[in-house]
Chains A and B, each alone.
Chain A
Amino acid sequence: MKIEDLNRAVVDLLRDNISNPTSNTAHWVYMDFPRSDATFPRISVTLSSSAINPAWIGNHMLNDAGEATLGMWVITTYDIDVWIERTNKSTGLDPVRGGTALRDYITDLIETIILEKKETMRTVHNVVDMEIIDRRTLPYDESTQLFRATLVVRITHDRTFNPG
């Protein structure tokens, strides 16, 4: 699985399973680091590192076409950031959440999805494992009026090459 495909799979996983709890119903999960003039709330997925190592002896891992190719293990780490603007308020939630409460509510939702959808990611995308290895919250940024939390997610998957 190429990184580009994994990026899309992670974004789609979040888009399909977490709806925006505010009145803004447009897309809110993006594969980028947001600009300061972006719309909020927003979930950003940023690839922070990708380590690639030989998987097995020999070149016998099978690709989608059933051809034997060189198999590699790829351990890709993503930062999934939750961005909440000071004025964002939830709709349809009791109690109404805003600020740090809304940030932590959404971050909890992402955590749940990441852990509950491991098996789906394995069967659909052949992802071997999906782990949360860190959760950080950053202090309120006065200049941008943003609350932010970061989940660090490590995904283990394979990738095949044809060495010729």
Chain B
Amino acid sequence: MTDQVYKGWNAVILKDGATIGFAEAASVEIATGVEPYYEIGSRTPSTIVPGNQEVTGSISRAWVNIDYLALVTGTGALTHFTLCFKAKAAVDAPWVYCYNCLFERGAIDVPQDGFLSEDYDFRATSVAVVLGT
């Protein structure tokens, strides 16, 4: 594998295997929730204890259909899905899988003179970072 640098046009975002179109920006954040343990007599932590893992992220896209807003407005149970973020569609590039995702927030933006857009925050139960194969 040769080291490569990518830009946005190389990236692909998939929801349950289908491309999320019209996305302008996306992010994934993985927090490990580590906590430092201090003992008396030391001003530095004697150990750092792993805490809860939290996987969150957001997606912004042009507002062109109801596919994603419908996932946060239903009155029944929310629908789980898997997200995959790829640096490029081909192999030998970093892929990030977020499993059992739920949208925890959805918003639309309707400016007078700009593009109509929608923004989503999601939360996942687990994450996997792999080299695309």
Q: How far is the CA of A44 from the CA of B106 in the complex (A)?
A: 47
Q: How far is the CA of A98 from the CA of B8 in the complex (A)?
A: 54
Partner of A58, one of B19, B62, B115: B19
Q: Does B26 contact A (CB under 8 A)?
A: yes
User: What class of interface size applies to chain B in its complex with A?
Assistant: 10 to 19
**A45-84 contacts to B (CB < 8 Å):** 54-61, 68, 70
Q: What's the minimum C-beta distance from B15 to chain A, rounded to whole angstroms?
A: 12
List the A residue with the shortest CB-CB distance to B61.
A56
A70 touches B9 (CB 8 A): yes
List the B residue with the shortest CB-CB distance to A73.
B115
Classify the interface of chain A: helix, strand, loop or mixed.
loop
List residues of chain A with CB within 8 A of the CB of B115. Answer: 128
List the A residue with the shortest CB-CB distance to B13.
A57
Q: Does A163 contact B (CB under 8 A)?
A: yes
Q: What's the minimum C-beta distance from B128 to chain A, rounded to whole angstroms?
A: 20
Interface 1/0s, chain B 78-105, versus A by CB < 8 A? Answer: 0000000000010000000000000000
List residues of chain A with CB within 8 A of the CB of B30. Answer: none
Q: Does B22 contact A (CB under 8 A)?
A: yes
List the B residue with the shortest CB-CB distance to A72.
B9
List residues of chain B with CB within 8 A of the CB of A57. Answer: 8-9, 11-13, 23-26
Q: Does B21 contact A (CB under 8 A)?
A: yes
A56 touches B19 (CB 8 A): no
**A24-50 contacts to B (CB < 8 Å):** none
Q: What's the minimum C-beta distance from A57 to chain B, rounded to whole angstroms?
A: 4
**B67-86 contacts to A (CB < 8 Å):** none
Q: What's the minimum C-beta distance from A79 to chain B, rounded to whole angstroms?
A: 21
Partner of A56, one of B7, B62, B89: B62
List residues of chain A with CB within 8 A of the CB of B22. Answer: 55-56
Q: A56-B61, A57-B24 are in contact. List 11 more A-B contacts (CB 8 A).
A: A54-B9, A55-B22, A57-B8, A57-B9, A57-B11, A57-B23, A58-B12, A59-B9, A59-B12, A60-B12, A68-B19
Interface residues of A (CB under 8 A from B): 54-61, 68, 70, 128, 163
What 3 pairs across the A-B complex have the smallest Cβ distances?
A: A57-B23, A58-B12, A57-B11
| Sampled A-B contacts (10; CB under 8 Å) | A54-B9, A56-B21, A56-B23, A56-B61, A56-B62, A57-B23, A57-B26, A58-B10, A58-B13, A61-B21
